[in-house]
Chain A
Amino acid sequence: MAVKVSIPTILRTHTSGEKSVEASGGTLGQVIDDLETRHAGLKARLVKEDALHRFINVYVNDEDVRFSGGLDAEVKDGDNVTILPAVAGG
Protein backbone atom coordinates (compact mmCIF):
# COMPACT_ATOMS: atom_id res chain seq x y z
CA MET A 1 0.00 0.00 0.00
CA ALA A 2 1.40 3.36 -0.95
CA VAL A 3 1.48 6.35 1.35
CA LYS A 4 3.09 9.76 0.95
CA VAL A 5 5.61 10.74 3.60
CA SER A 6 6.57 14.39 4.17
CA ILE A 7 10.18 14.76 5.23
CA PRO A 8 11.33 17.76 7.32
CA THR A 9 14.34 19.85 6.25
CA ILE A 10 16.68 18.34 8.80
CA LEU A 11 16.09 14.77 7.53
CA ARG A 12 16.31 15.51 3.81
CA THR A 13 19.99 14.51 3.80
CA HIS A 14 18.58 10.96 3.83
CA THR A 15 16.24 11.53 0.89
CA SER A 16 18.59 13.36 -1.52
CA GLY A 17 16.80 16.60 -0.67
CA GLU A 18 13.31 15.28 -1.47
CA LYS A 19 10.50 16.90 0.58
CA SER A 20 8.16 14.03 0.02
CA VAL A 21 8.74 10.33 -0.66
CA GLU A 22 6.55 7.25 -1.12
CA ALA A 23 6.52 4.20 1.07
CA SER A 24 4.35 1.18 1.83
CA GLY A 25 3.20 -0.70 4.89
CA GLY A 26 0.13 -1.42 6.99
CA THR A 27 1.48 0.22 10.13
CA LEU A 28 3.71 3.22 10.75
CA GLY A 29 6.50 0.85 11.85
CA GLN A 30 6.31 -1.00 8.53
CA VAL A 31 6.32 2.29 6.62
CA ILE A 32 9.49 3.34 8.44
CA ASP A 33 11.15 -0.03 7.76
CA ASP A 34 10.25 0.32 4.09
CA LEU A 35 11.67 3.86 3.98
CA GLU A 36 14.89 2.61 5.53
CA THR A 37 15.49 0.21 2.59
CA ARG A 38 15.78 3.20 0.23
CA HIS A 39 16.78 5.99 2.59
CA ALA A 40 19.38 4.47 4.87
CA GLY A 41 19.83 6.12 8.24
CA LEU A 42 16.33 7.55 8.42
CA LYS A 43 15.01 4.95 10.84
CA ALA A 44 17.65 5.73 13.47
CA ARG A 45 16.57 9.37 13.39
CA LEU A 46 12.94 8.40 14.12
CA VAL A 47 13.00 5.28 16.26
CA LYS A 48 14.89 4.43 19.41
CA GLU A 49 14.51 1.11 21.24
CA ASP A 50 11.36 0.16 19.30
CA ALA A 51 9.51 3.43 20.01
CA LEU A 52 9.33 6.78 18.29
CA HIS A 53 11.78 9.37 19.59
CA ARG A 54 10.02 11.54 22.14
CA PHE A 55 10.84 14.72 20.26
CA ILE A 56 9.81 13.58 16.80
CA ASN A 57 6.16 14.23 15.95
CA VAL A 58 4.63 11.86 13.42
CA TYR A 59 1.14 12.35 12.06
CA VAL A 60 -1.03 10.04 9.96
CA ASN A 61 -3.26 12.45 8.09
CA ASP A 62 -4.35 14.82 10.88
CA GLU A 63 -3.66 12.54 13.82
CA ASP A 64 -0.60 12.63 16.10
CA VAL A 65 0.33 8.93 16.28
CA ARG A 66 1.34 9.37 19.90
CA PHE A 67 -2.39 9.11 20.58
CA SER A 68 -3.14 6.35 18.07
CA GLY A 69 -0.69 3.55 18.72
CA GLY A 70 2.74 4.97 17.90
CA LEU A 71 4.63 2.61 15.59
CA ASP A 72 1.57 0.30 15.56
CA ALA A 73 -0.67 3.06 14.21
CA GLU A 74 -2.58 1.82 11.19
CA VAL A 75 -1.74 3.27 7.79
CA LYS A 76 -3.96 2.90 4.73
CA ASP A 77 -3.42 3.32 1.01
CA GLY A 78 -3.40 7.00 0.14
CA ASP A 79 -2.70 8.23 3.68
CA ASN A 80 -0.34 11.11 4.29
CA VAL A 81 2.38 10.64 6.88
CA THR A 82 3.99 13.85 8.13
CA ILE A 83 7.20 13.93 10.16
CA LEU A 84 7.97 17.11 12.14
CA PRO A 85 10.70 17.43 14.73
CA ALA A 86 9.18 18.90 17.89
CA VAL A 87 10.08 22.53 18.48
CA ALA A 88 11.18 22.49 22.10
CA GLY A 89 13.85 23.58 24.51
CA GLY A 90 14.49 25.01 27.90
Chain B
Amino acid sequence: MLVIRRDLVDAMVAHARRDHPDEACGVIAGPEGSDRPERLVEMVNAERSPTFYRFDSMEQLRVWRAMDEAGEVPVVIYHSHTATEAYPSRTDVSFASEPDAHYVLVSTRDAHDVEVRSYRIVDGVVTEEPVDVVESYMFSHTGADDVPDAD
Protein backbone atom coordinates (compact mmCIF):
# COMPACT_ATOMS: atom_id res chain seq x y z
CA MET B 1 0.00 0.00 0.00
CA LEU B 2 1.11 3.52 -0.80
CA VAL B 3 0.17 6.10 1.84
CA ILE B 4 0.59 9.56 0.35
CA ARG B 5 -0.42 13.12 1.19
CA ARG B 6 -3.11 14.70 -0.96
CA ASP B 7 -0.97 17.75 -1.85
CA LEU B 8 1.65 15.41 -3.36
CA VAL B 9 -0.97 13.60 -5.45
CA ASP B 10 -2.32 16.97 -6.59
CA ALA B 11 1.21 18.08 -7.53
CA MET B 12 1.81 14.95 -9.65
CA VAL B 13 -1.52 15.42 -11.43
CA ALA B 14 -0.83 19.12 -12.05
CA HIS B 15 2.60 18.27 -13.48
CA ALA B 16 1.12 15.57 -15.75
CA ARG B 17 -1.59 17.95 -16.99
CA ARG B 18 0.91 20.72 -17.66
CA ASP B 19 3.20 18.50 -19.75
CA HIS B 20 0.37 16.76 -21.63
CA PRO B 21 0.57 15.49 -24.40
CA ASP B 22 4.20 14.67 -23.50
CA GLU B 23 4.87 12.32 -20.61
CA ALA B 24 5.78 13.97 -17.32
CA CYS B 25 8.08 12.29 -14.79
CA GLY B 26 9.48 12.87 -11.34
CA VAL B 27 10.41 11.48 -7.98
CA ILE B 28 9.18 11.92 -4.41
CA ALA B 29 11.95 11.49 -1.87
CA GLY B 30 11.46 10.39 1.72
CA PRO B 31 13.62 9.36 4.66
CA GLU B 32 15.35 6.01 4.12
CA GLY B 33 13.36 3.19 5.70
CA SER B 34 10.25 5.36 6.30
CA ASP B 35 8.31 4.48 3.12
CA ARG B 36 6.91 8.02 3.47
CA PRO B 37 6.95 10.26 0.37
CA GLU B 38 7.73 13.85 1.37
CA ARG B 39 9.74 15.92 -1.11
CA LEU B 40 8.54 16.05 -4.71
CA VAL B 41 11.03 16.81 -7.46
CA GLU B 42 9.69 17.35 -10.98
CA MET B 43 12.22 15.92 -13.42
CA VAL B 44 12.85 16.88 -17.02
CA ASN B 45 11.70 14.25 -19.48
CA ALA B 46 14.85 14.20 -21.63
CA GLU B 47 12.88 12.44 -24.37
CA ARG B 48 10.12 15.09 -24.50
CA SER B 49 7.86 12.44 -25.96
CA PRO B 50 4.20 11.40 -25.71
CA THR B 51 5.22 7.73 -25.58
CA PHE B 52 8.52 7.58 -23.69
CA TYR B 53 10.26 9.16 -20.74
CA ARG B 54 13.77 9.20 -19.41
CA PHE B 55 15.26 11.28 -16.60
CA ASP B 56 18.01 13.59 -17.84
CA SER B 57 21.21 11.84 -16.71
CA MET B 58 22.89 14.93 -15.21
CA GLU B 59 19.76 16.03 -13.38
CA GLN B 60 19.35 12.50 -12.05
CA LEU B 61 22.91 12.53 -10.71
CA ARG B 62 22.29 15.83 -8.87
CA VAL B 63 18.95 14.72 -7.43
CA TRP B 64 20.24 11.28 -6.38
CA ARG B 65 23.29 12.84 -4.69
CA ALA B 66 21.10 15.31 -2.83
CA MET B 67 18.92 12.44 -1.62
CA ASP B 68 21.98 10.49 -0.54
CA GLU B 69 23.32 13.43 1.45
CA ALA B 70 19.93 13.96 3.12
CA GLY B 71 19.51 10.27 4.01
CA GLU B 72 16.62 10.00 1.58
CA VAL B 73 15.60 7.44 -1.01
CA PRO B 74 13.22 7.65 -4.00
CA VAL B 75 10.02 6.48 -2.27
CA VAL B 76 7.86 7.26 -5.32
CA ILE B 77 8.87 7.35 -8.99
CA TYR B 78 6.05 8.71 -11.09
CA HIS B 79 5.32 9.32 -14.74
CA SER B 80 2.30 9.93 -16.90
CA HIS B 81 0.64 8.08 -19.74
CA THR B 82 -1.08 10.52 -22.01
CA ALA B 83 -3.07 8.18 -24.29
CA THR B 84 -3.34 4.92 -22.37
CA GLU B 85 -4.44 3.73 -18.93
CA ALA B 86 -2.38 4.18 -15.76
CA TYR B 87 -0.84 0.72 -15.99
CA PRO B 88 2.90 -0.01 -16.49
CA SER B 89 3.82 -0.62 -20.12
CA ARG B 90 6.23 -3.32 -21.20
CA THR B 91 9.05 -0.76 -21.35
CA ASP B 92 8.15 0.51 -17.86
CA VAL B 93 8.58 -3.03 -16.54
CA SER B 94 11.81 -3.74 -18.40
CA PHE B 95 13.52 -0.55 -17.15
CA ALA B 96 12.20 -0.57 -13.58
CA SER B 97 15.32 -0.47 -11.45
CA GLU B 98 14.22 0.63 -7.98
CA PRO B 99 12.79 -2.47 -6.27
CA ASP B 100 11.93 -0.48 -3.13
CA ALA B 101 10.05 2.32 -4.90
CA HIS B 102 6.35 2.77 -5.49
CA TYR B 103 5.87 3.29 -9.22
CA VAL B 104 2.99 5.74 -9.63
CA LEU B 105 1.26 6.09 -13.00
CA VAL B 106 -0.88 9.11 -13.82
CA SER B 107 -3.09 8.88 -16.90
CA THR B 108 -4.18 12.12 -18.54
CA ARG B 109 -5.94 10.50 -21.49
CA ASP B 110 -9.26 11.71 -20.03
CA ALA B 111 -8.71 15.37 -19.10
CA HIS B 112 -11.70 15.35 -16.74
CA ASP B 113 -10.94 12.09 -14.98
CA VAL B 114 -7.22 11.77 -14.30
CA GLU B 115 -6.33 8.32 -13.04
CA VAL B 116 -3.60 7.75 -10.39
CA ARG B 117 -2.49 4.19 -9.58
CA SER B 118 0.52 2.66 -7.83
CA TYR B 119 2.60 -0.47 -8.41
CA ARG B 120 5.60 -2.39 -7.21
CA ILE B 121 7.80 -3.61 -10.04
CA VAL B 122 10.33 -6.23 -8.92
CA ASP B 123 12.22 -8.61 -11.22
CA GLY B 124 9.81 -7.96 -14.06
CA VAL B 125 6.70 -8.65 -11.96
CA VAL B 126 4.08 -5.91 -11.60
CA THR B 127 1.91 -5.82 -8.49
CA GLU B 128 -0.74 -3.15 -8.15
CA GLU B 129 -1.25 -1.78 -4.64
CA PRO B 130 -3.95 0.36 -3.00
CA VAL B 131 -3.30 4.10 -2.69
CA ASP B 132 -4.36 5.68 0.60
CA VAL B 133 -4.54 9.44 0.14
CA VAL B 134 -4.26 11.24 3.48
CA GLU B 135 -4.38 14.88 4.54
CA SER B 136 -1.41 14.42 6.87
CA TYR B 137 0.89 11.56 7.89
CA MET B 138 0.22 12.37 11.54
CA PHE B 139 -2.59 9.85 11.98
CA SER B 140 -1.72 7.33 9.30
CA HIS B 141 0.23 4.20 10.14
CA THR B 142 3.41 5.16 8.37
CA GLY B 143 5.44 5.41 11.50
CA ALA B 144 4.82 8.84 12.73
CA ASP B 145 6.00 12.23 11.71
CA ASP B 146 4.90 13.36 15.16
CA VAL B 147 8.11 11.70 16.37
CA PRO B 148 11.42 13.10 15.15
CA ASP B 149 13.09 10.91 12.56
CA ALA B 150 15.96 8.81 13.86
CA ASP B 151 19.11 10.74 12.92
- Whether A and B are associated in the same complex: the answer reads yes
Residues of A within 8 A of B (CB): 8-10, 55, 57, 59, 62, 64, 66, 82, 84-90
A-B contact pairs, 10 of them (CB 8 A): A9-B99, A66-B57, A86-B60, A86-B95, A86-B97, A87-B77, A88-B54, A88-B91, A89-B92, A89-B96
Q: How far is the CA of A10 from the CA of B53 in the complex (A)?
A: 20
Interface string of B110-150 (1 = CB under 8 A from A): 00000000000000000000000000000000000000000
Q: How far is the CA of A85 from the CA of B60 in the complex (A)?
A: 10
Residues of B within 8 A of A82 (CB): 61, 64
Q: How far is the CA of A42 from the CA of B133 in the complex (A)?
A: 39
Residues of B within 8 A of A (CB): 25, 27, 43, 47, 51-55, 57-58, 60-61, 64, 77, 79, 88-92, 95-100
Per a CB cutoff under 8 Å, which of A9, A84, A87 touches B54?
A87
Chain A nearest CB, measured from B151 CB (Å): 16
Q: How far is the CA of A84 from the CA of B77 in the complex (A)?
A: 14
